[in-house]
């Protein structure tokens, strides 16, 4: 897994073979960040990475200058990997939380300009996650929620739908608090 752009561009992190999480492909990640650069100013943004897995998105957000990145991951092996990446990087703006995402959403009092959520595609509650996030105050008024999911989901009729893009089997749906 590598960081594509920014101050840590080119840094590589090995993902253990026994990981259940799959890193977002470089092609999809690069295109995602090209789109995001039209919506947000990374230097002014606090970001939240839900279901952080390998940390690929968190690392890219840090590299591009987000003022704060919080990664939430429940799996012990994945969380340990995130800690190793954090220690290697030494970036004080990266905060990690080992917790169940659904519990975290209910308790969270912080507000973020960007929330990225990449739940396991087989998660039975997957379709409800955007509504859970949008119903609370986690996403700032001008914030963007990016939801990664499989091809079986279509959120285009959602009242907060902003945009959908797909790169092979990777689908990103963008939501905002306010229609833009």
| Whole-prediction pTM | 0.95
pLDDT in tens, 115-131: 999 999 889 999 999 99
Provide the 8-state DSSP code for 101: H
Number of domains in the chain: 1
In a domain, 94, yes or no: yes
Mean pLDDT calculated for residue range 132-146: 94
**Residue 79 forms part of a structural domain:** yes
Could you list the residue range(s) of the whole structural domain that residue 137 is in? 26-176
Q: Residues 13-27: pLDDT tens digits?
A: 988 888 877 778 889
Residues near 80 by beta carbon (within 8 Å), at least 6 away in sequence = none
Is 78 domain-assigned? Answer: yes
Angle at alpha carbon of residue 88, lines to 91 and 86, rounded to 5° = 50
Tell me the per-residue pLDDT of 64-81, one tens digit each, with 9 for 90 and over: 999 999 999 999 999 999
- Ordered alpha helix ranges (H), the chain: 26-36, 56-63, 76-89, 101-107, 129-135
Q: Does some domain include residue 8? A: no
In a domain, residue 80? The reply is yes
pLDDT at 55: 95
pLDDT bucket at 180, cuts 50 / 70 / 90: very low
Q: Is residue 1 situated within a structural domain?
A: no
């Amino acid at each position: 897994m590598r960081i594509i752009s920014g101050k840590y561009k080119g840094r590589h992190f090995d993902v253990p073979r026994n990981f259940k999480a799959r890193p977002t492909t470089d092609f999809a990640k690069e295109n995602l960040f090209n789109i995001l650069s039209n919506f947000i100013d990374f230097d002014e943004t606090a970001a939240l990475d839900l279901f952080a897995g390998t940390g690929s998105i968190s690392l890219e957000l840090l590299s591009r200058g987000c003022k704060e990145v919080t990664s939430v991951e429940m799996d012990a092996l994945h969380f340990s990997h995130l800690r190793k990446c954090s220690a290697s990087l030494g970036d004080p703006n990266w905060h990690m939380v080992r917790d169940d995402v659904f519990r975290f959403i209910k308790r969270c009092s912080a507000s973020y300009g960007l929330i990225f959520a990449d739940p396991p595609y087989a998660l039975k509650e997957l379709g409800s996650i955007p509504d859970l996030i949008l119903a609370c105050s986690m996403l700032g008024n001008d914030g963007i929620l990016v939801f990664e999911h499989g091809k079986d989901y279509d959120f285009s009729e959602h009242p907060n739908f902003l945009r959908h893009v797909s790169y092979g089997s990777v689908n990103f749906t963008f939501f905002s608090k306010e229609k833009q």
